[in-house]
A and B are shown apart, each in its own frame.
Chain A
Amino acid sequence: MTAPKVASMRDAIADLVRDGDTVAIEGFTHLIGFSAGHEIIRQRRRDLTLARLTPDLVYDQMIAGGVASKLIFSWLGNPGVGGLGAIRRRIEGEIRDQPLALEEYSHFGMVGRYTAGAMNLPFFPLRSYFETDLPVANPLIRPVESPYSDERIYAVPPLKPDVAIVHAQRASAAGDTQVWGLLGCQKEVAFAADRVIVVVEELVEDEVVRSDPNRTIIPGLIVDAVVLEPWGAHPSYVQGAYDRDNRFYLDWDPITRDEDAIQAWLEEWVYGVADRAEYMAKLGAERMASLRPSAAAPSGSVDYGAYR
């Protein structure tokens, strides 16, 4: 067990996220670190490269907040609802004074990039991209020949973010982190990154982690800061804790279509609140209660056994 790493969100972002960094806030529909994204906007970081499979609302907000100059991604949208207007206006040329460079892959390509980064490999080979325009659009997707046969497949380069921000159900103060439900690339991005911030719904004792070691996806060994921030993934969801706030995703559609509306939203919900606790108080207890699971569905327990 290593030393406690518990920090406030404000301090974690101030200490670990720097202008010009490549930052990956991962979480595939699940466990998306919205509160960390908002703190980065509040601290007015600039010129970030944002990496993420599915940019989602959090990157729409961050890019509207002016923190990023480049986006590395594989699927751009408001899942199940529509588009991301702040990002599209910067790509389609409607907003010309804040250009946004793109580096585009497929999902498997992005997963492979984090994996190669985590494993310290020079590339990740995959059976994708054949006969498509993706390697033309992104020359970093390159063909590679097998050293064992005449097969040619494609490769993607490793991605080693300066900072990975991972939301999770729980961690110990030392940063040993446990997740259940959709895992996305939380593990891969953490191992690939230089600095790791874990944001959790619950801080637990070391023995809670040790009672169920199969659930640990990230060891404290690679974690720089642990932030306790319940509801930090809202409006995305946390398995067993709260559901996706679909009303928020639907309400985002008219906001994101209008740059003035999105800036007004940032004023009210990001710059206008000090932290996540204030944001949740503003959202209200009734809304929070409506997002709780309708019933409990606990796992059966397994017996690890004791040995001496």
Chain B
Amino acid sequence: MTVTSDPGFSRSEMMIVAAARALEGQHVCFVGVGLPNIAVNLAQRTVAPSLEMVYEAGVFGARPSRLPLSIGDPTIVTGSTAVVSMLELFGYYLQGGLIDVGFLGAAQIDRFGNINTTVIGDYEHPRTRLPGSGGACEIAINARQVFVIMRQSKRSFVESIDFRTSPGNLGGAEQAERIRREGGWLGRGPSIVVTDLGIYRFDDDGEMRLDSLHPGATLDGVRETIGWEIRVADSLAATPPPSAGELRLVREELDPGGVYTR
């Protein structure tokens, strides 16, 4: 990779902006813990102003005046449409089928979009204990579709995940479609993965395919950070760089401390 001049934005900023843009046209989004929080809040301030943000803490229609510090924060309550118990949130809103997009983060993902957020290594004797499911498992099953945002590396994009916390396209599209249909799952699974290098969608085999490269990223760089032979779209797109407006919102309004963009 040749070193080019400073593009004026970080790879994390590009990732967050690209993830936010993916929500254009979406109506109801379940906001997962971590990076989804800033991406979805940016979307509400840009491409999807009428987006209904749903937080597992028990909020429908959040209108946070600052970026929530985590997925529970007094700012997601003040001015929201509804505050409900977690039983109602998971029971009526998620399992009842009202969520268009579940936006998740991940520690490990495989080529079929199955996600691990539980352990690295063996479950009983883990090398690294991760947070666990939280609501991710049921979001992956019940949200109509799943978007994923995560930084990519050989450790996170792996041939085989150490623990399946949240199901994606299982062993491939054919199996996933059959099991989801026969099991009466509402969700059709993952549809987009946004990383710090590019945007991936899932092909007819249910396998991740690079669709767009971010500015500054190269195909070689992508391949070096994925633990399997990644499929690449015939017409590989170039992700438009963040606009000045998007960068201003991220830097000045949402994350002035650089928590997500460092």
Contacts and interface: CB of A to CB of B under 8 A. Distances in A.
Q: Bound pair: A and B?
A: yes
Contacts, number: 161
Contacts of B184: 127, 151
Main secondary structure on B side of the interface with A: loop
A104 B77 CA distance: 28
Interface in B230-251: none
Contacts of B85: 183-185, 187-188
Contacts of A151: 183-184
B129 A185 contact: no
Determine which residue in A132, A133, A134, A181 has the highest number of CB atoms from chain B within 10 A of its CB, and name it: A132
Contacts of B128: 92
A218 to B, nearest CB: 12
B8 interface: no
A128 B183 CA distance: 11
A87 B95 CA distance: 31
Contacts of A75: 33, 131-134
Nearest to A241: B74
Nearest to B166: A132
A73 B166 CA distance: 17
Interface stretch (B18-26, B52-60, B191-199, B212-220): B52-60
B90 A182 contact: no
Interface in B109-162: 118, 123, 125-129, 131-138, 141-142
Chain A interface size band reads 35 or more
A92 B95 CA distance: 34
Nearest to B95: A127
B83 A133 contact: no
B238 to A, nearest CB: 33
A106 B135 contact: yes
A91 interface: yes
A97 B57 CA distance: 35
A128 B141 contact: yes
Contacts of A293: 74
B66 to A, nearest CB: 10
A75 B104 CA distance: 14
14 contacts: A29-B73, A30-B72, A74-B132, A75-B131, A76-B131, A93-B125, A106-B135, A108-B137, A111-B90, A126-B90, A127-B185, A128-B142, A132-B164, A240-B74
Interface of A: 28-30, 53-54, 73-77, 79-80, 83, 87-88, 91-93, 104-108, 111-112, 115, 126-134, 136-137, 151-152, 180-185, 187-188, 237, 239-240, 243-244, 246, 249, 293, 297
